[in-house]
Amino acid sequence: MERTFCMIKPEGVQRGLIGEILARIERRGYRIVALKMLRLTPELAARHYAEHEGKPFYQDLIEHITSGPVVAMVLEGPGVIAALRQMMGKTNPLEAAPGTIRGDYAIDLGHNIIHGSDSPASAAREIDLFFTAVELEG
Ligand code: DAT
Ligand code: MG
């Protein structure tokens, strides 16, 4: 069964959107396999966002994602990788369609509320970064 990694970013937690986002995921029918709140260390943030190293927004990205607690989770179900990306909406919230999480709750590219893996390879890599095998038995 397909799995993906999802994270509610610090601004999503701070704005009280954890329940809203989890509700959308559950209502859609996807299973939450594992779930935890944590604050990313700079090291974990750098590994998570390794593909963006060297880009102009990289430093801001790392500072922001380590600025407060996040909610990390693993979701499971048919087509979940693409479906979560669809539910998130486009990276720039101003381009994200209404009805998507970013389209409904964000207006700033650097504070776009939610992360979701963009491919099977990213999903496997990110799940492994955040969760141990025991935590994934749920
Ligand atoms: P996504 O989160 O939709 O997978 P991404 O992987 O391209 O998007 O970028 C990761 C995060 O970095 C994104 O959620 C917000 C931030 N970001 C991306 N492009 C940016 C830019 N041009 N300026 C500022 N922040 C950016
Ligand atoms: Mg990405």
Ligand 1 geometric centre to CA of 105 (Å): 16
Q: pLDDT (tens digit, 9 = 90+) per residue, 86-135?
A: 999 999 999 999 999 999 999 999 999 999 999 999 999 999 999 999 99
Determine the residue type at 93: P
Q: Is the CB of 57 under 6 A from ligand 1?
A: yes
Q: What is the pTM of this model?
A: 0.98
Q: Is the CB of 111 under 6 A from ligand 1?
A: no
Task: Supply the pLDDT for residue 86.
Answer: 98
Task: Supply the pLDDT for residue 21.
Answer: 98
For helices 80-88 and 18-28, give the axis angle rounded to 10 degrees. 140
88 CA closest ligand 1 atom index = 3
115: alpha, beta or left? (left if phi > 0; alpha if psi -120 to 50): beta
85 CA closest ligand 1 atom index = 3
Query: Given 3.40.50.720, 3.30.70.141, 1.10.3210.10, 3.40.190.170, which CATH number is that of 2-136?
Result: 3.30.70.141
In this structure, the dihedral spanned by the alpha carbons of residues 115, 69, 20 and 17, taken in order and rounded to 10 degrees, is -100
Q: Which residues pair with 115 in a beta bridge?
A: 7
* Length of the chain in terms of residues written: 138
Q: Is the CB of 91 under 6 A from ligand 1?
A: yes
For strand 114-116 and strand 3-8, is the pairing parallel, antiparallel, or unpaired? antiparallel
Q: pLDDT (tens digit, 9 = 90+) per residue, 21-73?
A: 999 999 999 999 999 999 999 999 999 999 999 999 999 999 999 999 999 99
